[in-house]
């Protein structure tokens, strides 16, 4: 049998005074089989999966069909991942989430409708992610994992919090994937679930591997056998069994469930049946079962109606009618430079955050320009940009920076994206797509802001304040450079520090911290001074250019020579270098 997953020496980084969450764990998962990683909460199951998927730093290595994940060109096509809840934006629709992932992983967009049909979410495809129930969220998570037609499924507690029927459906899907030759690895803290639905059980305790067994051996050696009895005289039979056990000095445990059902631990069907026969107790059911792992097992698991029927062997589950899976992807899309752009456009347009931010910027800017005109003492260029001297940046620049900062986010939250190093988050094509979309958004916001400000000034004060400035070319270049630069700073900072807050902070830090620092450095005492540098720079580049090109160069030089423009370029250079450094480090690892 082909050994598809080989986890070798998985060890998480130490935690201060605590031992590592996972310590030297090694196991295998085979093709065509369902493997369960069992352990109580805190045993290290989730950490082990994150180490396998290279989502957490540590030691050890995991091979997927002979290759570690970072050596696979498109990991999402090899491994489908479900860790926790689907971490998409709450306002994004079910179908929009899947179509966005289609663009990210390079599969045809029609694949989204195929997996929606299989998991039963076609009628909810226009629902927002934030409104889904637990069961529907699990179905969507499985759809995301199956989207790229992967060979291996890695899922963290896929049936946790589901009803018995939903849990059976989920495990039926996993069994169907394994029946087609795929590999399935999932975690659970319920030993009966592991025994009922898997072919092999890997048991963890306090971060260490304590058992790696076939399911039959696991059920025989690690679960307590019991006898299930149904009788209309369950109370009387329970008392008789306890009395005979005391007389014979045997230790048994009788647990009465709801109704007329008894679970007898430490006895056999023959002994229970003989006791009932001798005392004339009518019995409707008498069967051997495999129970829980002992008194520490959770009462809720013991009371599960489906679990009360005993563990369902994997062979029995495989022999039942399995639910259908999405059809295999016949033709893979060839790598295309437009793929990251398609993903970024779907990501940005799939939620209303950008539209709400733009509306807030336009309203704030228009009201602020009217207020500044009423107060007076504000130059017309700043009036059109609604930029008081007391503010570090105008509303349009802050809005562009915010939209740039939230450009990175889905890639860091969604395991299917974070694991696919060939697509996100460190691919230069994706960064270029984000910068391009951020630039287009910033330019649109810049022109709309000036247009709205002009219209409001005209409506309130007439034509007095709506004349076009004589140096409109240089002012336009400055305005465009400021807004686009803020958007880029937000994108680069969010991508480098993996935080939207850090991205917005980097935008605000340019006029608040970097500009004063640069000015203080240039104006400080020194043997030589750089005074007059902007003028000399203009003289150097302002030669005769064809088609009047010197005018455009003059506008660019004027933008760079301004304190905010120079500081913004300095910040962008530093952020770009930091981003490239993190990219190189991730590729070296």
pLDDT more than 90, % of the chain? 39
The answer to whether residues 466 and 360 belong to one domain is yes
Contacting residues for 179 by C-beta, under 8 A, at least 6 apart: 32, 318, 322
**Co-location of 284 and 140 in the same domain:** no
* Residue 48 domain boundaries: 3-214
Which residue has tokens 């990683």? 37
Whether 172 and 250 map to the same domain: the answer is no
Q: Which of 320-334, 427-441, 570-584 reaches the highest mean pLDDT?
A: 427-441
Q: Tell me: pLDDT of 65 over 80.
A: yes
Do 420 and 515 fall into the same domain?
A: yes
Q: Walk across the sheet containing 79-83 and list its strands.
A: 79-83, 152-156, 183-188, 34-38, 200-205, 208-214
Residues 351 and 235 in one domain: no
- Please indicate, yes or no, whether residues 17 and 94 belong to a single structural domain of this protein: yes
Domain-embedded: residue 57: yes
Q: Does residue 428 belong to any structural domain of this protein?
A: yes
What pLDDT was estimated at residue 476?
84
Average pLDDT over every residue of 280-305? 61
Mean residue pLDDT of the chain comes to 81
Given this model, what pLDDT does residue 64 score? Answer: 93
What is the domain count for the chain?
3
pLDDT tens-digit readout, 104-146: 888 888 999 999 999 999 999 999 999 999 999 999 999 999 9
Tokens of residue 247, six digits: 């007389």
Same domain, 140 and 247: no
Model confidence at 406: pLDDT above 80: yes
CATH of residue 270:
3.30.70
227 and 208 housed in the same domain: no
Q: Look up the pTM and report it.
A: 0.76
208 and 258 belong to one structural domain: no
Which letter does DSSP use for residue 181 in this model? T
Do the domain assignments include residue 334? no
Rounded distance between C-alpha atoms, residue 61 and residue 443, angstroms: 46
pLDDT confidence tier of residue 312, bands split at 50, 70 and 90:
very low
Cβ-based neighbours of 109, under 8 Å, separated by 6 or more: 99, 102, 103
Q: Is residue 329 part of a domain?
A: no
Greatest mean pLDDT range, 93-107, 212-226, 408-422: 93-107
Indicate the range of 338-342, 366-370, 440-444, 516-520 predicted with least confidence.
Answer: 516-520
CB 441 within 8 A of CB 396: no
Q: Which of 214, 235, 264 is where one domain is finished?
A: 214
Gap between the Cα atoms of 48 and 35, Å rounded = 14
Residue 267: the pLDDT is: 86
Residue 317 clears pLDDT 60, i.e. is over it: no
pLDDT tens track for 156-207: 999 998 998 999 999 999 999 999 999 999 999 999 899 889 999 999 999 9
Counted residue by residue, the chain has a size of 589
Within a domain: 326: no
Residue 539: per-residue pLDDT: 58
* 39 and 174 assigned to the same domain: yes
Q: Residues 215, 314: contact at Cβ < 8 Å?
A: yes
How far, rounded to the nearest angstrom, does the alpha carbon of residue 313 sit from its chain's CA centroid? 33
537 domain-assigned:
yes
Q: CB-side exposure of 551: number of CA atoms within 13 Å? A: 9
Instruction: Write down the pLDDT at residue 94.
Output: 94
354 pLDDT more than 60:
yes
* Residue 313: per-residue pLDDT: 46
Supply the DSSP symbol for 511.
I
At 5-38, the pLDDT tens digits run: 999 999 998 877 788 899 999 999 999 999 999 9
**Residue where one domain finishes, among candidates 161, 195, 214:** 214
Same domain, 182 and 267: no
**Alpha-carbon span 500 to 89, nearest angstrom:** 14
Whether 569 is covered by a domain: the verdict is yes
Give me the sign of the Cα torsion angle 11, 12, 17, 19. Answer: negative
Q: In the numeric block, which tokens belong to residue 136?
A: 């529907």
Q: Where residue 192 sits, what CATH number does that domain have? A: 3.40.50.300
Query: What's the mean pLDDT in 255-264?
Result: 84
pLDDT higher than 90, residue 555:
no
pLDDT above 70: residue 315? no
| pLDDT tens track for 507-522 | 888 777 776 776 666 5
| Residue 318 covered by a domain | no
Q: Of 214, 245, 263, which closes a domain? A: 214
Please check whether residues 198 and 227 belong to one and the same domain. Answer: no
Query: Residue 381 and residue 109: Cα distance in Å, rounded?
Result: 46
pLDDT in tens, 449-502: 999 999 999 999 888 777 777 777 778 878 888 888 889 888 888 888 878 888
């Amino acid at each position: 049998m082909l050994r598809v997953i080989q986890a070798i020496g998985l060890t998480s980084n130490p935690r201060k005074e605590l031992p590592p969450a996972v310590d030297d764990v090694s196991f295998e998962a085979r093709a065509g089989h369902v493997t369960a990683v069992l352990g109580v909460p805190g045993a290290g199951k989730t950490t082990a999966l994150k180490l396998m998927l290279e989502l957490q730093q540590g030691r050890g290595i995991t091979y997927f069909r002979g290759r570690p994940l970072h050596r696979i060109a498109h990991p999402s096509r090899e491994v489908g991942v479900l860790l926790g809840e689907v971490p998409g934006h709450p306002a994004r629709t079910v179908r929009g989430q899947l179509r966005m992932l289609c663009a990210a992983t390079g599969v045809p967009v029609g694949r989204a409708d195929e997996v929606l049909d299989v998991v039963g979410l076609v009628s909810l495809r226009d629902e927002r992610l934030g409104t889904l129930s637990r069961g529907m969220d699990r179905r969507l998570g499985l759809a995301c994992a199956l989207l790229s037609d992967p060979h291996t499924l890695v899922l963290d507690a896929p049936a946790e919090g589901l009803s018995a029927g939903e849990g059976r459906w989920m495990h039926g899907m996993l069994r169907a994937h394994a029946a087609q030759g795929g590999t399935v690895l999932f975690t659970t803290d319920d030993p009966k679930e592991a025994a009922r639905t898997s072919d092999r059980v890997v048991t963890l305790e306090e971060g260490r591997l304590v058992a790696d067994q076939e399911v039959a051996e696991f059920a025989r050696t690690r679960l307590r056998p019991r006898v299930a009895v149904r009788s209309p005289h369950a109370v009387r039979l329970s008392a008789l069994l306890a009395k005979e056990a005391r007389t014979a000095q045997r230790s048994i445990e009788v647990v009465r469930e709801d109704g007329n059902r008894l679970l007898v631990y430490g006895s056999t069907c023959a002994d229970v049946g003989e006791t009932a026969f001798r005392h004339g107790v009518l019995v409707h059911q008498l069967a051997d079962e495999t129970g829980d792992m002992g008194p520490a097992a959770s009462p809720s698991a013991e009371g599960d109606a489906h679990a009360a029927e005993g563990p369902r062997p994997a062979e029995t589950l495989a022999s039942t009618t399995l639910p259908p899976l999405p059809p295999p992807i016949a033709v893979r899309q060839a790598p295309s430079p437009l793929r990251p752009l398609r993903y970024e456009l779907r990501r940005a347009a799939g939620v209303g955050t950008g539209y709400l931010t733009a509306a807030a910027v336009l309203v704030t800017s228009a009201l602020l320009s009217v207020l500044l005109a009423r107060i007076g003492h504000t130059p017309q260029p700043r009036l059109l940009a609604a930029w008081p001297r007391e503010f570090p940046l105008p509303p349009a620049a802050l809005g562009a920076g915010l939209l740039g900062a939230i450009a990175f986010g889905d890639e860091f939250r969604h395991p299917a994206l974070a694991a696919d190093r060939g697509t996100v988050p460190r691919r230069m094509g994706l960064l270029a797509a984000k910068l391009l979309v951020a630039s287009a958004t910033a330019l649109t916001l810049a022109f709309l802001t000036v247009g709205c400000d002009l219209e409001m000034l005209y409506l309130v004060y007439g034509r007095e304040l709506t004349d076009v400035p004589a140096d409109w070319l240089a002012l336009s270049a400055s305005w465009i450079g400021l807004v686009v630069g803020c958007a880029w700073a937000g994108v680069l900072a969010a991508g480098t520090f993996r935080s939207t807050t850090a991205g917005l902070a980097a935008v605000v830090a340019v006029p608040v911290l970097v500009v004063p620092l640069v000015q203080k450095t240039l104006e400080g005492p020194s043997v030589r001074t750089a005074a007059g540098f902007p003028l000399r720079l203009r003289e150097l580049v302002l030669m005769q250019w064809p088609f009047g090109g010197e005018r455009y160069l003059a506008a660019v030089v004027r933008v760079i020579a301004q304190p905010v423009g120079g500081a913004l370029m300095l910040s962008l250079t530093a952020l770009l270098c930091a981003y490239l450094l993190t990219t190189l480090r991730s590729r070296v690892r």
